[in-house]
Amino acid sequence: MSDRSQLIFAGKPFLYDQERDAEFERLVKRYPTRESMILPALWLTQEQEGWIPAEAIAYIADRIGTFASQVYEAATFYTMYYLHPMGRNHICICRTLSCYLRGKQEIVDFLRDEIGIKPGEVSNDGKFSLEEVECLGHCGTAPVVQVNGEFHEDMDVEKLKSLLTGLK
Amino acid sequence: MAEMVKLFVNGQEVEVESGKNLIDAFEVIGIEIPHFCYHPALGSDGNCRMCLVGIEDGRPPLVPACKTPVSEGLKVQLDTEKIKKIQHDVMELELINHPIDCPVCDQAGECKLQDYYMSYDHQASRMRVPQVVKEKKMDLGCGVIHDQERCVLCARCVRFTRLITKTGELGIINRSDDARVALFPGRSLDNRYALNIVDLCPVGAMTSKDFRFKQRAWFLKRDKGICHGCSMGCNIFIDHNREKYKDDLIYRFRPRLNPEVNGYFICDEGRLGYHRENEGRLISARIGTEESSADQALQTARRRMEGADKLLILLSPNCSLEQMLAIQALAATTGATVSGFSDGSIKNGDADGYLIQDDKSANRAGLALLGVNTSPEFFESALQRTDTLVSFNNDLFITGPNQAWAKKLGEIQIIAISTHDTLFSRQAGIAIPTASYTEYAGSVINKDGILQTFGQAVCKNSAPLDMIRIAGLLGGTLTDPEALMQAMKRKIPAFAAIETDQIPEKGLKLSHNEAAHVTA
């Protein structure tokens, strides 16, 4: 595990946009206590900003009516919340057994050589970020890569190359 | 008396109070169940796993004692090989990344990790890999210093800020071996009870900036006292020590459990109030500009009092009941008017509805009980008529010199019997040092009408006289402890009603009539 305690301040106040504001109000009714909204509220933030700035954590705490420290706990506990800005296109590569055996390392090496990013890094132009993740549940069609949340199965270097050229 | 239940511990039958969990119930009968995270004020969290015990009734093999209430016929196992193994394993886990810097740690001597290591672990470390490095000496604010490496993640501090102060500054962030207690970035501890975290911390992760590196815990003598910081009358431990060739000094106050008064905690202001007992004290007696012995000053004071035309005695609302009685008797002998005026010690709007009170004096209820007039009007009219003012540790200038009386105070003789070297004592013609509340025994009544006693804790090298003694030397007739006790019993029927001469440990709640009298 790594230390995720360093939050980054975006330097501007955080607010949900209209759509997510409405979504927050819709979701909050589903739970018996408002504290239950911490995780969905963090997701909404990540959807909107691509990552979770410190201001957003304080905002969520105030909006839910809990302590900033409690939202901070949840945000640092779960590694799928990004606490620093990611690339415009976020690539997740599965590193668990099946994908490992079926050549995920070749894809990782390709990205390192072609785009110049290693797992956990953001490319200099901010276009790509790469993350190695645990099992994505598509072992039958390994290796699997997730680009901006979408699954791409039976991945190899050639397929990835054509996939990435279409991205901004 | 609570209902009792019978149960078995390691096959032996014991009787304990019902309604408690195993840890609390067994503690009373002298059986220790080791635990880090459970604290009676914060409830059971069940995160440390140190209190796991076995129950022979088909439950899961192990249950946390902090979450298990006592019940009739329960068969509890504390000493099976399995339990011992668990305790050993939990200790090994806690110590994997612990720096073991006991020689420079303030908690040493009162540390659960040390105690439990000796009782439940006692094995060499098997770790041959580098330890996880975390932040050390973080200043969390409010005088709390945090060492993340020493932390066992029991979350007592986190729960304290969430459940007791409801400020929630702290959280446990990250997970697994990177988990740590931290503040939200850019914020700091911000509440008036923060230093209780230092007491709550079972290990040396939270230390007090004020106490750090000042004294080893095992050198401190722990005496019971009552905080005189406000009218709450919180129960405290006075931790003091006389280092070789030095004077007896107080190093810290700690809260002492009294469920009727303060519970488990005290405020930071009260806790740090011990500084005032060590510093700024009036050391020697003075007549005019000349330093003198206390005897000589008292003789001169007595002559001036006898020569006075209209004598005014000013009592402090911080005096003990015994002192008040002795000084009242002195006033009766000398024909003096007694006033308990001391508006300066009330800070309106400072109370927080928990422990902190507006009234920053310990025994104003005592003044009321003894019928001492505390109104400013009464004091002012008495002051205008008087030619000699004797103040018993009542600092008239507590909020600065009062211009309205400046002229009058300049004209009359002032005899200040004072614990501290203050602006007022410096203006007095005669100043006589006296013992402060950690240096004498006495009784005080708190704002809820609870009568509490405290003993003498500190014994100074050149101990200043107690106010009772001073009252006697100035001509007072009521100075004998036995006579004072009887006088108190006459004034307080509830005290007279109990058989012993001892006020109970938890204090004596005065009856409704007396309480009404107190607030009158």
The per-residue pLDDT for range B485-517, each reduced to its tens digit, is 999 988 888 888 777 677 888 888 886 555 555
Alpha carbon B284 to chain centroid distance?
A: 28
Predicted confidence at residue B518, as pLDDT, reads 47
Helix spans in A2-154 (H): 18-28, 38-49, 54-64, 68-77, 97-101, 104-114
For a pLDDT cut of 90, what percent of chain B falls above it? 86
Judge if B200 and B222 occupy the same domain: no
For residue B96, name the pLDDT band (cuts at 50, 70, 90). very high
Distance CA B108, CA B212 (A): 12
Question: How many angstroms separate the CA of residue B373 from the nearest CA in chain A?
Answer: 48
For B302-329, what is the mean pLDDT? 95
For B45-90, the DSSP string reads: ---S-TTEEEESSSS-S-EEGGG-B--TT-EEESSSHHHHHHHHHH
Q: Tokens at residue B240, please?
A: 């003091």
β-bridge pairing B388-392 and B413-418: parallel
On whether both B11 and B100 belong to a single domain, the answer is: no
Indicate the residue of B171, B176, B178 with minimum beta-carbon distance to A69.
B171
pLDDT tens string A54-104: 999 999 999 999 999 999 999 999 988 999 999 999 999 999 999 999 999
What CATH number corresponds to the domain at position A72? 1.10.10.1590
Joined together, the tokens standing for residue B435 give: 């013992």
How far B102 CA sits from the closest chain A CA (Å)?
A: 26
Its pTM stands at 0.92
pLDDT over 80 at A159, yes or no: yes
Please answer yes or no on whether A69 and B175 come within 8 Å at the CB atom: no
Q: Are residues A108 and A157 in the same domain?
A: yes
DSSP-assigned letter for residue B272? G
Handedness of CA B220, B222, B225, B229 (dihedral sign): positive
DSSP letters of B190-210?
A: -STTTTHHHHH-SSTTEEETT
What integer pLDDT is reported at residue B511 of this predicted model? 66
B167 CA: distance to closest CA in chain A (Å): 8
Residue B431 has pLDDT above 90, yes or no: yes
The one-character DSSP state at B519 is H
Please determine, for residue B458, whether its predicted confidence score (pLDDT) is greater than 60. Answer: yes
Report the C-alpha gap between B338 and A3 in whole angstroms: 66
For residue A72, give how far its alpha carbon lies from the nearest alpha carbon of chain B (Å).
7
Q: Give the other-Cβ count within 10 Å of A116's Cβ.
A: 12
Q: Which amino acid makes up residue B365? A: A
- pLDDT band at residue B519 using 50, 70 and 90 as cut-offs: very low
pLDDT of B399 reads: 84
Helix (H) or strand (E) holding B94: helix B81-96
Give the 3-state secondary structure of residue B292: strand
Type and span of the H or E element at B183: strand B180-183
Residues of chain B with Cβ-Cβ distance to A70 below 8 Å are 162, 168, 171
**Residue B17, SS3?**
strand
CATH number of the domain enclosing B226: 3.30.200.210
Lowest mean pLDDT among B50-59, B312-321, B389-398, B453-462: B50-59
Task: For chain B, give the mean pLDDT.
Answer: 93
3-state secondary structure B414-455: EEEEECECCHHHHHCCEEEEECCCCCCCEEEECCCCEEEEEC
Other Cβ atoms closer than 10 A to B504: 13
* Token pair listed for B313: 């005695």
pLDDT value of position B275: 97
pLDDT at B406: 81
| Per-residue model confidence (pLDDT) at position A149 | 87
Question: Is the Cβ of A42 closer than 8 Å to some Cβ of chain B?
Answer: no
Q: Which domain holds residue B39?
A: 4-79
Confidence check: pLDDT of B52 > 60: yes
Q: What is the pLDDT of residues B63-82, one digit of tens each?
A: 999 999 999 999 999 999 99
Instruction: Specify the CATH number for the domain of residue B53.
Output: 3.10.20.740
Is A73's Cβ below 8 Å from some Cβ in B?
A: yes
Which of A5, A54, A77 has its CB closest to that of B182?
Answer: A5
A161: which residues sit within 8 A by CB, 6+ positions away? A110, A114
Alpha-carbon torsion (B63, B66, B71, B77), positive or negative: positive
Q: Is residue A5 part of a domain?
A: no
Closest Cα in chain B to A8: B185
**CB-based contact, A18 to chain B, within 8 Å:** no
Whether the Cβ atoms of residue B344 and residue B400 lie closer than 8 Å to each other: no
Q: What residue type is A97 in one-letter code?
A: L
B471 is written with which tokens? 């009252």
Q: Which of B260, B278, B296 is the last residue of a domain?
A: B278
Q: Are residues B311 and B291 in the same domain?
A: yes
Cα-only R_g, chain B:
27
User: Last residue of a domain, which of B208, B236, B267?
Assistant: B208
C-alpha B448/C-alpha A85 separation (Å) is 57
The verdict on a CB contact (< 8 Å) between B174 and A3 is yes
Structural domains counted in chain A: 2
**Mean pLDDT score, A22-38:** 96
Lowest mean pLDDT among A38-42, A149-153, B435-439: A149-153
DSSP B477: S
Count of domains in chain B?
A: 4
User: Domain containing A157: what range?
Assistant: 89-165
Place of tokens 């933030």: A45
Token readout for B89 is 């394993």
pLDDT of residue A114: 87
Give yes or no for residue B14 having a pLDDT over 80: yes
**In this structure, what CATH number is given to the domain that contains residue A127?**
3.40.30.10
Q: Which secondary structure element, helix H or strand E, spans residue A105, and what is its range?
A: helix A104-114
Q: Give the number of beta-carbon pairs within 8 Å between A and B.
A: 60
* Sheet strands side by side (includes B206-208): B138-141, B144-146, B206-208
A27 burial via Cβ count (<10 Å: 0-12, 13-18, 19+): middle
Asked if B66 and B21 touch (Cβ cutoff 8 Å), the reply is: yes
Q: How far apart are CA B479 and CA B467, in angstroms?
A: 10
Which tens digit of pLDDT belongs to each residue from A95-144?
999 999 999 999 999 999 988 999 989 999 999 999 999 999 999 999 99
Q: What is the mean pLDDT of residues B21-25?
A: 96
**Domain holding B399: CATH number?**
3.40.50.740
Element containing residue B116 per DSSP (H, E): helix B112-116
Classify the C-alpha dihedral B323-B328-B333-B335 as positive or negative. Answer: positive
Residues of A in contact with B173 (CB under 8 A): 4-5, 72-73, 76-77
Residue A152 and residue A110 share a domain: yes
CB atoms A7 and B176 under 8 Å? no
Strand, coil or helix: B146: strand
Distance from CA of A46 to the nearest CA of B (A): 18
As a whole number, mean pLDDT of residues A38-51 equals 96
Same domain, residue pair B111 and B141: yes
% of chain B with per-residue pLDDT over 70: 97
Q: Which of B169, B182, B185 sits opposite A54 (nearest CB)?
A: B185
Residues belonging to chain B with any Cβ–Cβ distance to chain A shorter than 8 Å: 158, 161-162, 167-178, 180, 182-187
Q: Which two tokens stand for residue B407?
A: 């002229």
What integer pLDDT is reported at residue B498 of this predicted model? 76
B402, amino acid identity: N
C-alpha span between B227 and B221 (Å, rounded): 17
Residue B177 lies in a domain: yes
The count of other CB atoms within 10 Å of the CB of residue A143 is 28
Encoded tokens for B231 = 């009218």
Lowest mean pLDDT across B301-310, B374-383, B400-409: B400-409
Chain A residues touching B162 at Cβ < 8 A: 67, 70
Q: What is the mean pLDDT of residues B311-337?
A: 95
CA angle B133, B189, A56 (to 5 degrees): 80
Domain termination site, one of B278, B307, B326:
B278
Reduced to 3 states (helix: H, G, I; strand: E, B; else coil), residue B43 is strand
Helix axes A18-28, A38-49, angle to 10 degrees: 170
Length of chain B: 520
Of A1 and A29, the structure prediction assigns the larger pLDDT to: A29
Report if residue B88 sits inside a domain: no
B-chain CB neighbours of A7 within 8 Å are 185
Instruction: Please write the tens of the pLDDT for every residue from B242-296.
Output: 999 999 999 999 999 999 999 999 999 999 999 999 999 999 999 999 999 999 9
Alpha-carbon distance of B366 to B231, in angstroms, equals 11
pLDDT of residue B412: 94
B319 and B267, same structural domain? no
What is the pLDDT, as a whole number, of residue B402?
76
Written as six digits, the tokens of B434 are 């006296």
pLDDT (tens digit per residue) in B207-256: 999 999 999 999 999 999 999 999 999 999 999 999 999 999 999 999 99
**For the purposes of burial, counting CB atoms within 10 Å of the CB of A85, is it exposed (0-12), middle (13-18) or buried (19 or more)?**
middle
Q: What is the pLDDT of residue A165?
A: 87
Tell me which of A31, A56, A77 is where a domain ends. Answer: A77
Nearest CA in chain B to A2: B178
Q: Which of A2, A58, A67 is the closest to B168 by Cβ?
A: A67
- Whether residues B495 and B372 share a domain: the answer is yes
Same-domain check for residues A70 and A121: no
pLDDT at B280: 95
- Pick the residue from chain B with its C-alpha nearest to A53: B185
Does residue B418 contact residue B427 with C-beta atoms inside 8 Å? no
- Specify the residue for token string 């005014």: B312
Mean pLDDT of B44-61: 89
Which pair of structure tokens corresponds to residue B289?
């500009």
| Paired tokens of B265 | 């905690």
User: Is A66 close to B168, i.e. CB distance below 8 A?
Assistant: yes
Nearest Cβ partner for A67 among B162, B174, B178: B162
Decide if B76 contacts B52 (C-beta within 8 A). Answer: no
- Hey, what are B340's tokens? 């308990």
Say what the alpha-carbon torsion angle B363, B364, B365, B371 is, to the nearest 10 degrees: 120
Q: Are residues A61 and A94 in the same domain?
A: no
Let me know whether A70 and A124 are in one domain.
Answer: no
Asked whether the CA dihedral B489, B492, B495, B501 is positive or negative, the reply is negative
The tens digit of pLDDT for each residue in A113-127 reads 988 999 989 999 999
Nearest by CB: A5 against B170, B174, B177: B174
Q: Which two tokens stand for residue B305?
A: 């009092």
CB atoms A76 and B174 under 8 Å: yes
Cis status of the peptide bond prior to A143, with omega within 30 of 0: yes
Q: What is the pLDDT of residue B509?
A: 87
- In a 13 Å sphere around the CA of B350, the CA atoms on its Cβ side amount to 17
Q: Give the type of residue at B152.
A: V
